[in-house]
């Protein structure tokens, strides 16, 4: 298997294949990225931080994804993080904690797999999608899941570590992996992620 493309979204900006393609403003960094990247998808504003980051990461990788995709069912989404939807959980809790009315639009995002759902809706991807919770980014875990996917006949997988940890940075590391020779190999995922983090 081989990594076809990677992208990274954080307060530092938007990166594609290890090159910075857009700087983010200090305030409203996600909105600034969305506007600077000139994407026209007003539903973006309704999304929570997890979905916004994953959305932007996949939008800037559109060409690379289109190049490997062979059908609307073969793009499997394999996402994971450590904090699930905790950030939005708290915002939703706050919406009614002091006698307010619970917000339905916030409640929708109290499930981390809405992230994969949003990407599927945007791109009309009908393939498999899962969201795992692991303590931290685990390269072996992803490689194992990828092996399963390719053994089943998938040709490509879109994977992401998209996280809003309370004690860390908000980030989305998106990587597109294609079957190649289906030998595990060294995908150097953690190295790539650390390179982005150290930019």
Partner 1 sequence: MSELKEQLKAQIIEQLNLEDLSPADIKDDTLLFGDELGLDSIDALEFIVLLESNYGIKIADPSEGREIFQSVNSLAAYIEKNQ
Partner 2 sequence: MELFVTGYGAISCIGNNVQEILHALKSEKTGIQKGKQAHSEKYLVGEVLLSNEELMRKFALKTTGSRTGILGAIAAKEAFQGHKLDASIRTAVISGTSVGGMDVSEKEYRNHIDNVPQNLHNYAHHSSGNSSEQIAEELGITGFINTISTACSSAANAIMMGARMIQQGKIDRAIVGGTDGLSAFTINGFKSLMIFDEEWCRPFDESRKGLNLGEGAGFIVLESKESMQKSGSNSIARLRGWSNASDAYHQTASSPEGHGATLSMKEALTIAGMKANEIDYINAHGTATPNNDLSESQAIINVFGNNIPPFSSTKAYTGHTLAASGGIEAVIAILAIQNGCLFPNLNHRNVIEETKLEPIKSLKEGAEINAVLSNSFGFGGNNSTIIISK
From the list 13-21, 80-88, 98-106, 154-162, the region that binds partner 1 by CB under 8 A is 98-106
Query: Which of partner 2, partner 1, none binds 67 (CB below 5-8 Å, type-dependent)?
Result: none
Q: How far is the CB of 12 from partner 2 (least distance, A)?
A: 27
Stretch in the footprint of partner 1 (CB under 8 A) among 57-65, 72-80, 99-107, 157-165: 99-107
Residue 62 binds what, of partner 1, partner 2, none (CB under 5 to 8 Å, by partner type)? none
Measured from the CB atom, the residue of 137 and 196 that comes closer to partner 2 is: 137
Give the CA distances from residue 138 to residues 53, 110, 123, 144, 145, in Å, rounded to whole numbers and listed in that order.
20, 23, 27, 10, 11
Residue number with CB closer to partner 1 (105 or 194)? 105
Q: Which is nearer to partner 1, 17 or 95 (CB)?
A: 95
Q: Which two tokens stand for residue 137?
A: 């980014």
Read off the tokens for 76. 């499997």
Minimal distance, residue 95 CB to partner 2, in Å: 9
Give the 3-state secondary structure of the chain. CEEEEEEEEECCEEEECCEEEEECCCCCHHHHHHHHCCCCCHHHHHCCHHHHHHHHHHHCCHHHHHHHCCCCCCEEEEEEECCCCHHHHHHHHHHHHCCCCCCHHHHHCCCCCHHHHHHHHHHCCCCCEEEEECCCCCHHHHHHHHHHHHHCCCCEEEEEEEECCCCCCCEEEEEEEECCCCCCCCCCHHHHHHHHHCC
Contacts (CB under 8 A) with partner 1, residues 20-39? 31
Q: Is 104 in the site for partner 1 (CB under 8 A)?
A: yes
Which residues of this chain interact with partner 2, rule CB under 8 A? 73, 77, 83-86, 89, 92-93, 96-98, 101-104, 107-108, 110-118, 120-121, 123-135, 144, 147-148, 151
β-strand pairing of 129-133 with 75-81: parallel
User: Which residue's CB is nearer to partner 2, number 3 or number 120?
Assistant: 120
Tell whether residue 124 is a contact of partner 1 (CB under 8 A).
Answer: no
Residues that bind partner 1 (CB under 8 A): 31, 42-43, 45-46, 100-105, 108
């Amino acid at each position: 298997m081989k990594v076809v493309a990677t992208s990274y979204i954080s307060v530092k900006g938007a990166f594609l294949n290890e090159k910075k393609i857009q700087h983010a403003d200090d305030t409203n960094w996600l909105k600034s990225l969305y506007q600077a990247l000139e994407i026209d998808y007003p539903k973006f504003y309704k999304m929570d931080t997890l979905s916004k980051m994953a959305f932007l990461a996949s939008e800037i990788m559109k060409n690379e994804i289109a190049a490997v995709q062979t059908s609307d069912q073969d793009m499997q989404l394999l996402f994971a993080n450590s904090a699930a939807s905790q950030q939005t959980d708290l915002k939703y809790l706050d919406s009614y904690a002091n006698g307010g009315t619970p917000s339905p639009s916030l409640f929708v995002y109290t499930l981390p797999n809405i992230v994969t759902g949003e990407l599927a809706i945007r791109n009309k991807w009908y393939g498999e999608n899962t969201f795992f919770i692991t303590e931290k980014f685990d390269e072996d875990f992803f490689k194992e899941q990828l092996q399963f996917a390719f053994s089943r006949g998938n040709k490509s997988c879109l994977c992401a570590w998209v996280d809003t940890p309370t004690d860390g940075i908000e980030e989305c590391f998106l990587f597109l992996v294609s079957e190649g020779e289906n030998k595990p190999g060294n995908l150097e995922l953690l190295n790539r992620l650390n390179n982005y983090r150290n930019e």
